[in-house]
């Protein structure tokens, strides 16, 4: 695979500017965007919270609006469409930090701007430096998955999770500056950020020279048209999707219309050799590890494991947590360490092992994302028909709003589902190999030996893929 | 129509150099504004650099007055093709990782001065006109002094501060 081309086909620098169309630019520069989407989701999540609250601990998950919309529809859309195609577009319209941001700005629609800067309500403190990374999100997401067995069968668990997230985001918004909750705490934010580096969409500056000459940098400090980047990026300079929440404030504040939304080839941000860190490496491995655990537990043939995850017995549940945490925090990272150690030995170059480990971890992102897409297929194809039922009877009160309350359970394409999953994994593997070879050239001094140096990593990727394929069809 | 710096007269080049210092002072002041809310220490460093750039501008203005008196020259830095000595905070995620510091701020200054010195030095090599060549050489020397000043400021920063 040649440098400069994705899969040897598409130039990495290829871009198609979506904001070249006047109606797209007008839409994204309007203050109704993303407010309109957020308000719609505030309504939707209010219904979800009510369904969770009224559903309690006993309502069957398949017939609960909250469970079906969050864990079937939202999760599947997030993993199959939103993140791989639209980057962090979920963050654009996420209703969870809505209350906190509203309180910070004390405006629902307009912009508070005086004496050259935006005004915010609250203490606006700086988040601790030691926590300014993905570690907390790694731990919180992993901890959330400990309760995954409850979320899909007990509506109250979904209620508690969402209510806790909203409450925490409000409290943190009043204490800390900007989108601190989204940047450093939200359990969903971390993997979206990392996986969005693979996405087909980006917000980027068009002509850096215009920004270099521009003195006031409204994209950072804000102006009367919009807020300075709530995600604390310097919009004229950032090069990865990781922390861009796609709020489009920079499109509104830029005086020169120099910000663009582009389509691009997949995976190019994974090759940006800056800001890589062990926190993100662990995020990549944890996501891959959790996908494996979820397959084994919820879609595999081992009923005992599912019973453990569902807390049928306390000892079983503790065993699930112990195995799940050990696998993700110790075993899988250690296995990957072994492969990177071998790669470093093979390269016979004095590159720090940590650098080799961190760099190559980004090559697991396409495969990890593919594993999650495959897992999502295993959710939506057998269970998607339940959505029709809960749309008509969201609170299980016997309603039939759209005449679909009695729609029977109808699995779709389950006969070819394993093959779709395998195909998805193979596509992910292909991209992972492409990225691994390019990262080998970045990491080691002898670019011509990249295939040799990357060989152990390719072995890890291949073994993981075949392990997952065995789980699908085995 | 923008012109290359090498196409200007010595008087115009000196005028542009004065404009560049003033522009940079304003850019540093705006960086100070940008970082004030996030990183007050970095903002202080940017303010110091803005003041230094103004001082550089005053020195060049004195040089201009010595050579051309009060003769007006209409050209500005916006009229030239090249982007000379623009200080840019290139770390787009600096605030997220809480990595913006005085050290990083002064490094922005060092890089800008270094680029300017290299640019003028290259023009010395490429320019045939002796008067212009001498001026570019002088500007390269001046930028070298500026670079040394910012390097000294950088060295004064506590080494334990993040890079």
Q: pLDDT tens across B109-160, in order?
A: 899 989 889 888 988 888 888 888 888 898 899 889 889 988 988 888 876 6
Q: For residues B39 and A265, which has the higher predicted lDDT (pLDDT)? A: A265
Q: Does residue B162 sit within a domain?
A: no
Whether residue A203 lies within 8 A of chain B, CB to CB, comes out as no
CATH number at residue B101: 1.20.1260.10
pLDDT classification of B5: cutoffs 50, 70, 90 = confident
Shortest Cα distance, chain B CAs vs residue A123, angstroms: 12
Chain-centroid distance of CA A450 in Å reads 30
Q: Which of B2, B92, B97, B119 to mutate to test the interface with A (most CBs of A within 10 A)?
A: B92
Residue of A nearest to B82 (CA): A209
Nearest to B90 by CA among A259, A223, A233, A306: A233
Number of domains in chain B: 1
**Which three-class secondary structure state does DSSP give residue A11?**
strand
User: Which residues 6+ apart lie within 8 Å of A117 measured at CB?
Assistant: A221, A222, A228, B33, B37
Contact A89, A158 (CB under 8 A): no
Residue of B nearest to A220 (CA): B34
Quote the ipTM score. 0.87
Q: Which domain holds residue B75?
A: 5-156
Q: Which of A183, A220, A227, A241 to mutate to test the interface with B (most CBs of B within 10 A)?
A: A220
Q: Does residue B123 sit within a domain?
A: yes
Q: Does residue B32 sit within a domain?
A: yes
Q: Does residue B19 sit within a domain?
A: yes
Whether residue A113 lies within 8 A of chain B, CB to CB, comes out as no
How does DSSP classify residue B18?
Answer: H
Residue among A116, A133, A211 minimizing CB distance to B97: A133
Asked if A213 and B78 come within 8 Å (Cβ–Cβ), the reply is: yes
pTM reported for the whole predicted model: 0.91
What is the structure's pLDDT at A1? 53
**Cα gap A140→B146, rounded to integer Å:** 48
State the 10-residue block means of pLDDT for chain A, 474 residues long: 83 97 97 97 95 74 84 95 98 97 95 90 93 96 94 89 96 96 96 98 95 87 94 96 98 97 98 95 97 92 91 95 97 98 88 96 98 95 91 86 91 92 97 96 80 91 95 78
Whether residue A235 lies within 8 A of chain B, CB to CB, comes out as yes
A chain contacts of residue B26, beta-carbon cutoff 8 Å = 215
| First-residue to last-residue Cα distance in chain B | 41
What DSSP assignment string belongs to A304-373?
HHHHHHTTSSHHHHHHHHHHHHHIIIIIHHHHHHHHHHHHHHHHT----HHHHHHHHHTTHHHHHHHHHH
Contact A239, B56 (CB under 8 A): no
How does DSSP classify residue B30?
Answer: H
Q: Does residue B77 sit within a domain?
A: yes
């Amino acid at each position: 695979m040649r440098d400069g081309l994705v899969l040897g086909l598409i130039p990495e620098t290829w871009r198609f500017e979506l904001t070249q169309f006047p109606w797209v630019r007008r839409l994204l520069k309007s203050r109704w965007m993303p407010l309109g989407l957020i308000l719609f989701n505030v309504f939707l999540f209010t219904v979800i919270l009510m369904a969770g609250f009224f559903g309690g601990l006993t309502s069957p998950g398949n017939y609960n609006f909250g469970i079906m919309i969050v864990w079937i529809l939202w999760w599947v859309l997030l993993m199959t469409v939103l993140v791989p195609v639209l980057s962090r577009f979920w963050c654009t319209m996420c209703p969870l930090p809505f209350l906190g941001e509203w309180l910070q700005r004390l405006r629902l629609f307009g912009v508070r701007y005086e004496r050259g800067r935006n005004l915010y309500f609250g203490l606006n403190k700086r988040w601790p430096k030691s926590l300014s990374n993905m570690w907390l999100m790694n731990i919180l997401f992993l901890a959330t998955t400990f309760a995954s067995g409850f979320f899909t069968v007990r509506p109250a668990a979904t209620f508690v999770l969402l209510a806790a997230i909203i409450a925490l985001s409000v409290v943190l918004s009043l204490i800390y500056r900007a989108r601190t909750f989204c940047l450093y705490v939200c359990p969903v934010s971390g993997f979206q950020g990392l996986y969005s580096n693979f996405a087909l969409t980006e917000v980027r500056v068009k002509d850096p020279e215009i920004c270099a000459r521009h003195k006031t940098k409204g994209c950072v400090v804000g102006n009367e048209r919009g807020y300075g980047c709530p995600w604390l990026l310097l919009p004229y300079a950032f090069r990865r999707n990781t922390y861009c929440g796609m709020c489009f404030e920079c499109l509104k504040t830029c005086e020169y219309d120099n910000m663009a939304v582009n389509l691009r080839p997949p995976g190019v941000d994974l090759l940006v050799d800056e800001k890589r860190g062990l926190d993100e490496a662990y995020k990549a491995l944890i996501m891959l590890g959790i996908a494996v655990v979820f397959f084994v537990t919820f879609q595999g043939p081992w009923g005992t494991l599912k019973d453990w995850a569902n807390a049928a017995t306390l000892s079983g549940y503790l065993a699930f947590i112990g195995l799940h945490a050990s696998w993700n925090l110790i075993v899988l990272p250690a296995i990957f360490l072994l492969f990177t150690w071998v790669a470093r030995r093979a390269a016979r170059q004095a590159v720090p092992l940590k650098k080799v480990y961190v760099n190559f971890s980004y090559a697991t992102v396409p495969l990890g994302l593919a594993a999650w897409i495959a897992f999502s297929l295993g959710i939506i194809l057998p269970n998607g028909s339940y959505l029709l039922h809960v749309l008509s009877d969201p609170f299980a009160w016997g309603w039939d709003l759209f005449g679909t309350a009695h729609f029977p359970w109808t699995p779709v394409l389950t006969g070819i589902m394993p093959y779709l999953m395998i195909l998805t994994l193979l596509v992910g593997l292909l991209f992972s190999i492409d990225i691994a070879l390019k990262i080998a050239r970045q990491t080691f001094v002898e670019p011509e030996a990249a295939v040799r140096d990357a060989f152990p990593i390719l072995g890890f990727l291949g073994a993981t893929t075949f392990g997952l394929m065995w789980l699908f069809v085995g | 129509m923008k012109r290359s710096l090498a196409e200007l007269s010595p008087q115009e080049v000196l005028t542009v150099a004065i404009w560049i210092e003033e522009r940079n002072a304003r850019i540093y002041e705006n960086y100070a504004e940008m970082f004030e809310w996030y990183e007050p220490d970095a903002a202080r460093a940017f303010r110091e650099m803005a003041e230094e750039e103004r001082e550089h501008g005053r020195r060049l203005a004195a040089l201009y007055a010595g050579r051309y008196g009060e003769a007006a020259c209409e050209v500005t830095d916006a009229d030239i093709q090249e982007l000379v000595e623009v200080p840019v905070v290139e770390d787009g995620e600096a605030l997220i990782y809480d990595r913006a510091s005085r050290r990083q701020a002064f490094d922005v200054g060092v890089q800008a001065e270094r680029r300017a010195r290299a640019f003028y030095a290259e023009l010395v090599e490429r320019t045939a006109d002796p008067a212009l060549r001498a001026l570019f050489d002088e500007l390269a020397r001046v930028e070298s002094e500026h670079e040394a000043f910012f390097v000294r400021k950088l060295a004064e920063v506590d080494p334990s501060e993040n890079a």
